[in-house]
Amino acid sequence: MANFDWHAERSDLAGIALLDRAPESEGIDLKAVRLYRLGRVRDQMKRFDVDAVILSDPINIRYATGARNMQVFSQRNAPSRYLLLTANKSILFEFTGCLHLGQGFETIDEVRPAKTASFVAAGPHIADRERAWAAEMADLITELVGPGASVGLERLNAGTAIAMKACGLRIVDAQEPVEMARAIKSDEEMKCVNASLRATEIGVGKLRDAIRPGMTENELWSVLHQSVIAQNADYCETRLLNAGARTNPWFQETSSNVIGENELIALDTDVVGCHGYYSDFSRTFHSGPGAPSAAQRDLYKVAFEQVHHNMGILKPGMSFRDYANRAWNIPEEYYQNRYYLSAHGCGMTGEYPYLYHRGDFPDAGYDGEILPGMTLCVESFIGKASEGEGVKLEQQVLVTETGVELLSRFPFEDDLLR
CATH classification of the domain holding 283: 3.90.230.10
Largest CA distance in the chain: 78
pLDDT in tens, 23-75: 788 899 999 999 999 999 999 999 999 999 999 999 999 999 999 999 988 88
Q: Is residue 328 part of a domain?
A: yes
Domain end among 144, 164, 182: 182
Over residues 202-214, the pLDDT tens digits come to 999 999 999 999 9
Residue 247, domain member (yes or no): yes
- Across the range 271-289, mean pLDDT stands at 97
Q: 164, 182, 200: which is the final residue of a domain? A: 182
Domain presence at residue 203: yes
CA-CA distance, 116 to 343, in Å (whole number)?
37
The reply to whether 272 and 385 lie within a common domain is yes
pLDDT at 7: 37
Task: Give the residue-averaged pLDDT of 292-308.
Answer: 98
Average pLDDT along the chain: 93
Pair (156, 207) in one structural domain? no
Q: Does residue 83 share a domain with residue 44?
A: yes
Same domain, 167 and 205: no
Answer whether residue 271 is part of any domain: yes
Residues paired with residue 346 on neighbouring β-strands, in sequence order: 350
Same domain, 126 and 241: no
Q: Which helix (H) or strand (E) holds 75?
A: helix 71-76
Considering the domain architecture, whether residues 167 and 206 belong to the same structural domain is answered as no
Single residue among 147, 182, 217 that ends a domain in this structure:
182
Q: Rounded CA gap, 273 and 167, in Å? A: 40
Instruction: Tell me the whole-structure pTM to 2 decimals.
Output: 0.93
- Same domain for 401 and 272, yes or no, is yes
Question: Is 391 within a domain?
Answer: yes
Same domain, residue pair 151 and 225? no
Would you say residue 175 lies in a domain?
yes
As a whole-number percent, the residues of the chain with pLDDT over 70 amount to 95
Between 76 and 315, name the one with better pLDDT: 315
- Count how many domains the chain has: 2
Query: Which pLDDT score, from 0 to 100, does residue 120 have?
Result: 83
pLDDT tens digits, residue range 144-180? 999 999 999 998 889 999 999 999 999 999 999 999 9
Annotate 369-393 with DSSP letters as a single string. Answer: B--TT-EEEEEEEEE-SSSS-EEEE
Query: In CATH, what number is assigned to the domain containing residue 162?
Result: 3.40.350.10
Q: Are 44 and 178 in contact (CB under 8 A)?
A: yes
Q: Is residue 1 part of a domain?
A: no
**Is 204 in the same domain as 168?**
no
- Close Cβ partners of 325 (under 8 Å, ≥ 6 residues apart): 358
pLDDT tens for each residue of 192-249: 999 999 999 999 999 999 999 999 999 999 999 999 999 999 999 999 999 999 999 9
Are both 199 and 161 inside the same structural domain?
no
Evaluate whether 370 touches 401 at the Cβ level (below 8 Å). Answer: no
pLDDT digits (tens, 9 = 90+) for 66-118: 999 999 888 888 788 999 999 999 999 999 999 999 999 999 999 999 998 88
Instruction: Indicate whether 267 belongs to any domain.
Output: yes
Q: Are residues 60 and 208 in the same domain?
A: no
Angle at 414 between CA 209 and CA 252, to 5 degrees: 60
Range of the domain at 345: 187-417
pLDDT level of residue 121 (50, 70, 90 thresholds) = confident
The answer to whether 102 and 61 have CB atoms below 8 angstroms apart is no
Strand extents, DSSP E, 28-87: 52-55, 82-86
Domain check: are 177 and 235 in the same one?
no
3-state secondary structure of 315: coil
Nearest partner of 78 among 159, 155, 171, 175, judged by Cα: 155
